[in-house]
Structure 1
Amino acid sequence: MKKPIAAIISAVLFGGIAAAPCNVLSVPAASAQEKAAKPNYQNRAQIPEKDKWNLHDLYKSKAAWEADVKKAEELSAEITAKYQGKLDQSVDQIVGALQDYSTLSELSSKAYGYANLSFDVNQSNPKKQALLNRAEKMAAKIAADTSWLNPEIVSIKTGTMKKILRDKKLAPYKYVLQDMLRTKSHTLTKQEEEVLARLSPLSDTGTNVYGMLAKDVKFPKIKDSKGKEIQLTRSNYISYVESGDRLVRKGAYEAYYRTLGKFQDSFAQALTAQVKSHTIHAGLRNYKSALEAAVVPNDVPAKVYDQLISSVNKGLPLLHRYMELKKKLLGVDELHMYDMYTPIVEADRAYIPYEDAKKMVMDGLKPMGDDYLSIMNEAFKKRWIDVYSTEDKATGAYQWGSYGNHPFVLLNYQGTKGDVATIAHELGHAAHNYMSGKKQNYLNAHYAIFTAEVASTLNEALLWNSEYKKAGTKKEKLYLLNQRLENFRTTLFRQTQFAEFEKKIHELDQKGEALTAETYNKVYGEINQKYYGKVMAADKEIPLEWARIPHFYNYNFYVYQYATSFAASTALSKQIADEGAPAVKRIKDNLLSAGGSSDPISILKNAGVDMSSSEPVDQAMKVFEETLNEMEKLVNES
């Protein structure tokens, strides 16, 4: 059985908007009264309770958690004893098995989520590590105990199953069953499924090694714009390569990648373990490739992935043109990758207090209606969100769904405009999860990752529209236009670049070629140069970027969906602007409340965008070109 997705996670998109050096257009700075000091919490105890998520909403005590872990393990054994070998006897048996499996999945997901969330805000705590290890053992046991369920259902004769599907009792599970039958040719025997389930912890080796390696790697000190030595970390790296001082961002960039370079063989081993796991899994399940094995189970045709890369490659001349504009406005003789994080339009760099960020997000999402805003308000007021970073907190940002409860959102808020967009992004996931949970049963509530990023990037698009409407001067409009171009670069182009890299290294593995740090550097360096064009200097550090992208290690062909979803949300945000309430209702009813009740292509088509064609990506490219044209026009007028 396809495992319900307990967590929809997204990392902060690299390349935020910050200040730039001279030779750029500037936006008026905030007044002294508007500026606020950036908090600097040394440990979790210093963070106010209101800015930490409340895990007591899941469990009041560890004892209560342990009781659920034990209950889940017992229930998984009971399901096997009660239903195994009996599913073809009656519709009631199938309905009962699915109901009990749903109860088990909901219970185990809640317990696993609590352990994972506890660990991610205190990763150096041995007790939290032990908690997560216990949860992982529970998950492995349940997977092994119930591994017979999918094979047994799909082994039911086709004619018998067609009759079964017509029974009204199975209506709540119809798509779940149809989805299982769709991948029948990739389902193994009961014994084989059990073996794979027992071996499943080994498939996470690359992920686990990367996680510990990334945590343990220590970076050197660098100098800030005032010449003061500061400690470079994973968390503050982006803020320093966003610096308006070119020497600061160059120093941070080189220090970061040269440090990664010392460990590149270890990172390569972790990535290779992940790639080989995907390739082996694909072969065992009779897929043609690791790519097909990753996307087909989510009911997405593999051609969508290839189509994305092809369409974006056709649009690369537009990205090259944007790079030329960036070089011109930065006033540099040579454009380097460390210049990518610096905007070509300067804005006020004052720290944005979290309370102000919340208001900006709420204002931006007003077109979604009062009911949607009430969900956002509840998230802010009832401690769904863990806001600030500490040394041993997981980096990036994500949303973790909890069926029957509310979602949880992890942030590492630094007070930048990019961080404000991240809040909107993750709350898009949270609203999607929350609304689907209210409308769908457990097995239908967990949407495919293909649709997950549409809700989040739609929120970002609405936030941008709100800020652009408020822009009162040409300079403010220039800033926002540049921000939009950067969103396209970091999402549609950059995530497709990542997707192309993933596809290439998996193809090399399938051909039996050696995967080493040297291989990864060569492949990544060539793809990066293709995307950014001749205007971009071939920095020796950039081929190592693969070593810092967590999605390569943690997920399986995930990042392409950031790009496809961005294209979809671009179209949907335009529909909201053009149609208003009818478009909002269509999106809420057919996307945000749909969960995984149908295939993702149909869900998005019903919401208003057809991802089975190249049209959404082509339309996004047109929007990028129009934005670039407007930017160039305003620059020439300045």
Structure 2
Amino acid sequence: MSKQPHLVPFALSLMLLSTSSAMAAVGAETFQIPSREEIAAEYKWHLDDLYASDEEWQADYDKVKGMLPKVGEYKGKLDRSGKNLLACLKLRDDITKITGKLYPFARMHQDENTADNKYQALTGKAQSLNIEVNAATAFIDPEIVEISAEKLGKMQKQEKGLEVYSFYLKSLMQQKQHVLSPREEALLSRAGEVAATPATIFNVLANAEVKFPSIQDEAGQEVPLSEGRYNNYLRSSDRRVRQDAFAGILGSYSQYRNTLAATLNGHVKQHVFFAQAHDYHSAQEAALMPNHIPVEVYDNLITTVNHNLAPLHRYVSLKKKALGVEEIHMYDLYAPMVKDVEIQLSYSEALDLVRQALAPLGEEYIVNFNKGIDSHWIDVYENQGKRSGAYSWGVYGVHPFVFLNYNGQFSDASTLAHEMGHALHSFYSAKSQPYPTVDYVIFTAETASTTNEILLIDYMLAKTTDKKEKMYLLNQYLENIRTTLYRQTMFAEFEKEIHDRSEKGETLTADLMEEIYHDLNVKYFGPEMIVDKEIDIEWARIPHFYRNFYVYQYATGYSAATAFAKQLQTEGKAAQERYTNKFLKAGGSDTPIQILKNAGVDMSTPQPIEITLQKFNRLLDELEGLLAEY
């Protein structure tokens, strides 16, 4: 299993990365970002656990190239016997186990220093190999679905080795009507690179072509705007800084509004094309059904949140009052209601805090958490050229890896808890599941990580005796729910709307998408919010819209995590065992909805979403009361 990096929610991932903790790591009294070599070895991950050298990597690359022709020997022969089918599936697994090490090794080295041309080249080489593997194995699924259910059942009885593939085979047969002929599937697989062009154009445009202006910071110093700094400026206590950053970033995207609209329109059109080619009712169904997510789960999220917008409107009203402004604008949304509170934590202090907060998960979980720390799963501090943000990457047969840019803030401790949630999910899954069912989907992945985040902030709220710190944490908690449940659901509603429009034959122009996005902001943020014209273009800077019905999983994941955290805090050992054995260890052995249901959370109902919205209300009550006293 090679899992793509799990990024923290968009609103949390674009962090301004200062150097305080990196300086602590190297013991330097300097404002310079340290080089990779200056970071102490204890704060670096061990990528040599994957390959001890580039030569070992190349040997595995060559091995895969040599294995690919053998896959073709099974073409047209899968229906002959269970033995043939098993041999082919095992060969594909053997190949993907290796490619599942090749790409992460290259990519993670590249992320250590994005200017390193050698690992850029290796990453590209690994990506091309993955495309070759996909093309070489594209015949397998279409050939299997051509086998009658009766014959496949007999083959499974005759060949006991196929037992570990039973969920995969069952899932495949359920998708039978959507699988094309081997030739057609191979053709569509090769078209994948062409179909990725709109996303590639967006990335180049957003990261290299769009130029942002400079603004004056709180001290009157001229500073350049960037996506990485944007969220920090939106959180400034100086309203002029917030407004300037807001206008600067969104105004820059607005200059490319027609190009960005054409790019997103092209991306949506390819979703619609592939959905229609595979005979799905909609692009939404095509995106959800392969992961066994009913369309109703997606739509239920939007409906439930739409029925509970009043608390968000109330939150906007409270923020307006706390900020002391006559009008509240979109650029005020991230401004802290409680000023002059900083929770500074060294990395070792953050580790101790997270361990204590995760105690409801049980002793075994903490033992494995410590194993990850001691075994160098984590790359901790920023260095020159290091990619920003954070992620976790589970590699089958090795261990998970965690990428951080730890900066000494409470939010960094929260990111540590989040990414270790992903990592331990991968760890438990790999330990408990055979390879064919080890890989889990994002729908459940975001639950494991966010459960840890929630346990951490709940622990902090229960522990603190400082009223101002408590108000700060409540504000942070409310922001987490606003940005993860409300905001991501608004994104999901926008994504559904633009796909629906495209499927009806409409062209997604800049004017149309700005109108849709403006109306959603008016609806979500309520009558007291001034929905500034600049916000209408915000859709153009959201990279997740190039990941096909992806963002809703942040909202569902947060809701499931809130329900799990409540159970772990109130039910003790019974909830602990359910969570570990039925959820973390389940991997991809069943549908994500069923796995969560087995563990005690039913996402086919509105209940977990309602539990989260009720918690938002309670936190709002508490903050409102404290602000009134302060």
Give the whole-Å Cα distance in 1 for the aligned partners of 2:559 and 2:364: 26
1:3-402 residue pairs with structure 2 within 5 A?
6-14=3-11, 40-41=32-33, 43-81=35-73, 83-166=74-157, 168-216=160-208, 217-349=210-342, 351-389=344-382, 392-402=385-395
Are the counterparts in 2 of residues 12 and 397 from structure 1 also a CA contact under 8 Å?
no
Cα deviation 1:357-377 (Å, max 9, x = unaligned): 323222211221232223322
* Structure-2 separation of matches of 1:113 and 1:16: 20
Match of 1:614 among 606, 611, 615: 606
CA distance in 2, matches of 1:352, 1:234: 25
Structure 2 residue matching 1:159: 3-state secondary structure: helix
CA distance in 1, matches of 2:255, 2:113: 27
The one-character-per-residue Cα deviations of 1:558-583 (angstroms, maximum 9, x if unpaired) are 11011111111111111111111211
Contact 1:468 1:480 in 2 (8 A): yes
Distance verdict in 2 for CA 1:556–1:389, change over 3 Å: farther
Taking structure 2 as the reference length, the TM-score comes to: 0.93
Q: What's the CA shift string for 1:449-501, capped at 9, x where partnerless? A: 21111101100111012101111143333332222211110111011011111
CA-to-aligned-CA distance 1:341-397 (integer Å, 9 cap, x gap): 222123523654333332322221122123222332233343322334467544432
Distance 2:237 2:598 in 1: 45
* 2:4 aligned partner, one-letter code: A
Counterparts of 2:498 and 2:76 in 1: how far apart (Å)? 41
Q: What is the DSSP-based 3-state SS (H/G/I as helix, E as strand, rest coil) of the residue aligned with 1:399?
A: strand
- Which segment drifts farther, 561-570 or 349-358? 349-358
Shift of residue 403, structure 1, vs aligned partner: 0.6
Q: How does 1:404-483 map to 2 (within 5 A)?
A: 404-483=397-476
Residue 197 of structure 1, CA deviation = 1.4
Tell me by how many angstroms 1:585 deviates.
1.1
CA distance in 1, matches of 2:93, 2:612: 39
| 2:594 corresponds to 1:602 | yes
For the residues of structure 2 that align with 1:243 and 1:470, how far apart are their CA atoms? Answer: 27
Query: In structure 2, what is the Cα distance between the partners aligned to 1:7 and 1:441?
Result: 19
* Kept in 1: contact 2:9–2:484 (CA 8 A): no
Q: SS where residue 541 of structure 1 aligns?
A: helix
Q: TM-score, normalised by structure 1?
A: 0.91
Q: Deviations over 1:513-546 (max 9, x none)?
A: 1123333222222212211112111212212222
Gaps of 5+ in 1: 19-35
2:561 is the alignment partner of 1:569: yes
The answer to whether the 8 Å contact 1:497/1:527 transfers is: yes
Decide whether aligned partners of structure 1 residues 381 and 264 sit closer, same or farther in structure 2, where only a CA change above 3 A counts.
Answer: farther
Q: Shift of residue 16 of structure 1?
A: 9.3
Task: Give the gaps of 5 or more residues in structure 2.
Answer: 16-27
Say whether the 8 Å CA contact 2:422–2:448 is kept in structure 1. yes
Q: CA deviation at 1:196?
A: 1.0
Equivalent residue, structure 2, for 1:32: none
8 Å CA contact 1:16–1:417 kept in 2: the answer is no
Q: 1:56 to 1:17 in 2, by over 3 A?
A: closer
Distance in 2 between residues matched to 1:39 and 1:452, nearest whole Å: 37
Write the distance in 2 (CA, Å) between the matches of 1:240 and 1:636.
27
Deviation at 1:44, TM superposition (A): 4.0
Paired residue type of 2:621: N
Q: Per the alignment, in what secondary structure is the counterpart of residue 88 of structure 2?
A: helix
Is residue 500 of structure 2 the alignment partner of residue 507 of structure 1?
A: yes
CA offsets per residue over residues 113-172 of structure 1, 9 Å max, x none?
222223333334433332222112101111111111001111111111223344543221
CA change 1:8–1:128 in 2 (3 A) is closer
In structure 2, distance between residues paired with 1:271 and 1:362: 42
Stretch deviating more after TM superposition (287-296 or 377-386): 377-386
Distance 1:624 1:334 in 2: 23
Tell me, yes or no, if the aligned pair for 1:5 and 1:447 is still in contact at 8 Å.
no
Letter in 1 for 2:140: L
450-459 vs 395-404, which moves further = 395-404
Deviates more, 1:94-103 or 1:427-436: 94-103
Identity %: 43
Would the alpha carbon gap of residues 632 and 406 (structure 1) be closer, same or farther in structure 2, given more than 3 Å must change?
same
Where 1:575 maps in the other structure, the secondary structure is: helix
The structure-2 alpha-carbon separation of the partners of 1:459 and 1:483, relative to structure 1 and needing over 3 Å to count, comes to same
Residue 613 of structure 1 deviates from its aligned partner by 1.3
Residues 587 and 101 of structure 1: CA distance in aligned 2, closer, same or farther (over 3 Å): same
* Counterpart residue type for residue 626 of structure 1: R
CA 1:291–1:626: 2 relative to 1, 3 Å: same
Distance 2:530 2:598 in 1: 44
Partners of 2:107 and 2:203 lie apart in 1 by 13
In structure 2, what is the Cα distance between the partners aligned to 1:183 and 1:215? 38
Q: Is the 8 A contact 2:234 2:335 kept in 1?
A: yes
The 2-side partners of 1:628 and 1:93 are apart by: 61
CA contact (8 A) 1:221 1:232 kept: yes
Q: Give the Cα separation in 1 of the matches to 2:318 and 2:85.
A: 61
Q: Tell me which amino acid in the other structure corresponds to 1:545.
A: E
Q: Cα distance 1:359–1:239, how it changes in 2: closer, same or farther (>3 A)?
A: farther
Tell me which residue corresponds to 2:25.
Answer: none
3-state SS of paired residue (2:392): strand
Q: 1:307–1:5: structure 2 CA closer, same or farther, 3 Å change rule?
A: farther
What is the CA deviation profile of residues 23-45 of structure 1, one whole-angstrom value per residue up to 9, with x for unaligned ones? xxxxxxxxxxxxx9896516544
My pick for the range that moved more, 350-359 or 232-241, is 350-359
**In the TM superposition, what is the alpha-carbon distance from 1:15 to its structure 2 partner?**
5.9
Partner Cα separation in structure 2 for residue 376 and residue 579 of structure 1: 22
Report the CA distance shift for 1:325/1:561 in structure 2 as closer, same or farther (over 3 A).
same
Deviations 1:271-304 (A, max 9, x none): 2332122111101111111110000000110111
Q: CA deviation at 1:195?
A: 0.5
Are the counterparts in 1 of residues 2 and 395 from structure 2 also a CA contact under 8 Å? no
Tell which deviates more after alignment, 111-120 or 144-153: 111-120
* 1:118 aligned partner, one-letter code: H
Tell whether 2:482 aligns with 1:489. yes
How far residue 240 of structure 1 moved from its aligned partner, in angstroms, is: 2.1
Which moves more between the two structures, 569-578 or 55-64?
55-64
Cα separation, 1, equivalents of 2:405 and 2:250: 22
Range with greater deviation from structure 2 (325-334 or 622-631) = 622-631
- Which of 538-547 and 449-458 deviates more? 538-547
Quick one: distance in 1 between partners of 2:241 and 2:59? Answer: 52
Q: Secondary structure at the match of 2:336?
A: coil
Instruction: Name the SS for the 2:228 alignment partner.
Output: coil
Q: Secondary structure at the match of 1:408?
A: strand
CA RMSD of aligned residues (A): 2.3
2:616 matched to 1:624?
yes
Query: Is the CA contact (8 Å cut-off) linking 2:2 and 2:101 kept in structure 1?
Result: no
